[in-house]
Amino acid sequence: MEKIRKEAIQHCGSDADCIRDYMEKRVGADIAGLLFPHLSSQSGKFGKFFGIDPWFEFSSFVMDHPTFSLAVVSTIIALFVSPPLGGTMLVSGAISGGVSWLQGNDPDTILRDAGIGGFAGVFGYGVFAGVTRYVGARLAQSTLSPFLQKWLPKIIGGGSGGVADQSAFDGLRDRKFDWRSATIAGMIGILIPYAGAVLDGSPALGKQLQQMIPGVSGDGTLAMPWVKKNGQEAAEGYNKASGKSGGTLSESLKIGNAELEKLPVRGNQYRIKGTEVVIKGRRIVKVNDISKYRKESGLSTLSDEEALKQVAKIRNELGIPALGDDLKLKSEKILNSEQTVAVLESDGYQIWGRNGWGTDQGGYKAVREEWLKSGGKRNPSATNAQTVYHAEGDAFWNLYKFRKQNNILGGKATMVVDRDFCRSCGDGRGVQQMVEEVGLDELIVITPSGRQSIKPRPELKRTSW
């Protein structure tokens, strides 16, 4: 264990969180290696030579994404044992992951949803097979035509399987049942075998079940959206584009000074009145569109109180709820965390940042590739795996891109944050690591607790691009 700790310190420096995470993953990789000693040994030799231990990286990925990893293994086994079941799990997982990607979620959430979708496919397939077999046995004793005896069990089973699949997904992910999404999924389950029946050729069946086809109602609005996930979004988009109302915002509410209107879509989504701010999945996924880079205003020359007022002004421009109101929204479970805004001035420019900023800039892929390596492994001077997603990380990531593009090193900067540093940014050296990463000589930080100076460690400060 002492050997692993020394290895972790060499890897992470004095970052306590990184050391603990590294040790847990190294121990896990070593325990898993007991099952495959030859593979683990060869991977270790490969790591000493090339600097990357594939077995450790693989084990770290599995520990970071257990649901997805277990689903992949289960799907592979099912493909060999029962190809129809394995295929259902594969398709269900791919659809759930794809929908999560379209919703703008981060990669970790996408992988989690894909894994849950794979397991939900087991429930869907089981119900489909059971209902189809049961209805088929019943209809075999009836006087219905052979055509109906062939396709009606599949249609009923498909609808039941769709409801079971979606219900299992919502239950596993959100711990609740959403009858709207279950109904839409059931309609999809009905439509697939129904389409097969139509192609198989049965005008009589087509006429009897024609009313099941989703279509446009008499007033021109979409009557039955058929998208498995987010069907309501599809209907609203269609009705808006066609000039049909099809419904209004379902409710408005006021929490603190924040006035919200609930959007008529699946799940709890809100827009803050008078702004472009959208809250989805208990996260702010859109803020007002203001320039990321503006001419610096001289925050370093202001008093702490005046500097914080300037940040409050920018916070208001972004449409983010005021300090205090965000805590009330959190207590009401509309937001999952408080909202922080940071403003950084350097090299003649002012850059704002906010926590959870991925949806503003197309996700975190670029910053992960530049600053973070797979499995949470980082470069010695790159920030820890928490700070990068905070408001401070947002501001510094954009300063990093600007300085790299213009080959700038050295100099001083000022950053004003409307909340005190969290443990990762302060004690965890997250901000100091970013100061080193962008090559600054000094950073003046102003928070509600006061002013402090952060300087880079000489041996870790960037000296060239």
Mean pLDDT of the chain: 81
Per-residue pLDDT reduced to its tens digit, 415-444: 999 999 998 899 889 999 999 999 999 999
Per-residue pLDDT reduced to its tens digit, 83-121: 888 888 898 888 888 888 887 888 888 888 888 988 888
In angstroms, the CA 58 to CA 410 distance is: 38
Question: Which parts of 15-65 fold into alpha helices (H)?
Answer: 16-33, 37-50, 54-64
Task: Give the per-residue pLDDT at 10.
Answer: 59
Concatenate the DSSP letters of all residues of 416-441 into one string: EESS---TTTTTT-HHHHHHHHHT-S
CB atoms within 10 A of CB 134: 14
| Consecutive H or E run containing 245 | none
- Written as six digits, the tokens of 149 are 């005896």
Please name the amino acid found at residue 399: L
Q: Which of 96-110, 118-132, 170-184, 338-352 has the highest mean pLDDT?
A: 338-352
- Residue 1 CA to chain centroid, in angstroms? 34
Q: How confident is the model at residue 392 (pLDDT cuts 50, 70, 90)?
A: very high
Helices (H) and strands (E) in the chain, counts: 16, 11
Task: Give the per-residue pLDDT at 410.
Answer: 96
Q: Is the four-CA dihedral 208, 212, 213, 216 of positive or negative sign? A: positive
Q: Describe the strand order of the beta sheet including 258-262 as a list of residue ranges.
A: 251-255, 258-262, 269-272, 278-280, 283-286
Q: Is the four-CA dihedral 197, 202, 203, 205 of positive or negative sign? A: negative
- Residue 326 CA to chain centroid, in angstroms? 21
Task: Give the per-residue pLDDT at 360.
Answer: 92
Res 63 pLDDT > 80: no
Q: Output the CA–CA distances (angstroms, integers) from residue 403 to 352, 361, 378, 454, in the order listed.
A: 16, 18, 20, 19
In angstroms, the CA 401 to CA 363 distance is: 15
Look-up: residue for tokens 């808006």? 240
pLDDT, average across residues 140-158: 79
Decide which of 32 and 431 is more confident: 431
Task: Give the per-residue pLDDT at 231.
Answer: 44
Please provide the size of the chain in residues.
Answer: 465
Closest CA to 195 of 168, 226, 233, 232: 226
Q: Which of 11-25, 187-201, 230-244, 420-434 has the highest mean pLDDT?
A: 420-434
Percent of the chain with pLDDT over 90: 35
Task: Give the per-residue pLDDT at 11.
Answer: 59
pLDDT, average across residues 391-395: 96
Contact by Cβ (8 Å): 86, 72: no
Q: How confident is the model at residue 405 (pLDDT cuts 50, 70, 90)?
A: very high
pLDDT, average across residues 326-331: 93
pLDDT, average across residues 194-217: 56
Task: Give the per-residue pLDDT at 322.
Answer: 95
Asked which of 1-10, 115-124, 173-182 is least confident by mean pLDDT, the reply is 1-10
Task: Give the per-residue pLDDT at 228.
Answer: 38
Partners of 271 in the beta sheet? 261, 278
Please name the amino acid found at residue 397: W
Task: Give the per-residue pLDDT at 235.
Answer: 46
φ, ψ of residue 457 to 5 degrees: the values are -75, 125
Contact by Cβ (8 Å): 303, 277: no
pLDDT, average across residues 57-78: 83
CB atoms within 10 A of CB 306: 12
pLDDT, average across residues 336-350: 96
In angstroms, the CA 298 to CA 96 distance is: 48
Contact by Cβ (8 Å): 434, 392: yes
Rg (CA), the chain: 27
Res 350 pLDDT > 90: yes
Task: Give the per-residue pLDDT at 215.
Answer: 47
CB atoms within 10 A of CB 313: 11
Res 328 pLDDT > 90: yes
